[in-house]
């Protein structure tokens, strides 16, 4: 039998292995230019944030008739639940969902008159015309 050749084995400590891995990762990252790409992305994000913060916030204008409808609902209070309210281009129509008791009918009529509206027996609805101004 031949003499077995003895090859010495190099023993590395944990610190040595970590150092070697760290060096290999640095070389790999430099080769892929990831750091550069990350820096570019960070710069882009900062630019985008700046651009977004400079976008003016425009609140939608609320039309006068929408304000009138809100005031009408506030005046009607709980009775608004008794009515189907249809906002149209030229008017607001309030149609009773069911038969209104006398006191409810009178209360709604008073509110509608306050808003320059009227009861239409033909359409069986309260109608408030929108102002032309």
- How far is 66 from 94, CA to CA, in rounded Å? 14
Question: What are the tens digits of pLDDT across the range 6-29?
Answer: 777 778 888 888 999 999 888 877
Question: What are the tens digits of pLDDT across the range 36-50?
Answer: 777 888 889 898 888
pLDDT at residue 125 greater than cutoff 80: yes
Domain extents for the chain? 14-53, 64-129
- How far is 127 from 77, CA to CA, in rounded Å? 18
Between the CA atoms of 115, 120, 124 and 125, what dihedral angle is there, to the nearest 10 degrees? -20
DSSP result, 76-97: HGGGGGGEEEEE-SSEEEEEES
Q: Out of 6-10, 20-24, 97-101, 103-107, which region has the weakest mean confidence (pLDDT)?
A: 6-10
Q: Quick one: 106 exposed, middle or buried, by C-beta within 10 A (0-12, 13-18, 19+)?
A: exposed
pTM value > 0.85: no
Higher pLDDT, 89 or 78: 78
- The alpha helices in 1-133, defined as continuous H runs, are 14-32, 34-53, 64-76, 102-114
Cα Rg of the chain (Å, integer): 39
């Amino acid at each position: 039998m031949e003499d077995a050749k003895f090859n010495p084995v190099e023993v590395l400590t944990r610190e040595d292995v970590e150092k070697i891995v760290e060096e290999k990762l640095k070389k790999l990252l430099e080769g892929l230019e990831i750091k550069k790409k990350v820096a570019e992305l960070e710069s882009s994000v900062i630019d985008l944030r700046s651009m977004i913060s400079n976008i003016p916030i425009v609140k939608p204008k609320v039309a006068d008739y929408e304000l009138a409808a809100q005031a009408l609902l506030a005046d009607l209070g709980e009775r608004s639940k008794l009515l189907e309210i249809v906002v149209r281009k030229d008017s607001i129509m309030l149609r009773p969902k069911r038969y209104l008791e006398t006191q409810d009918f009178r209360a709604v009529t008073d509110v509608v008159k306050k808003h320059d509206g009227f009861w239409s027996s033909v359409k069986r609805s309260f109608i408030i015309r929108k102002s032309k101004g």
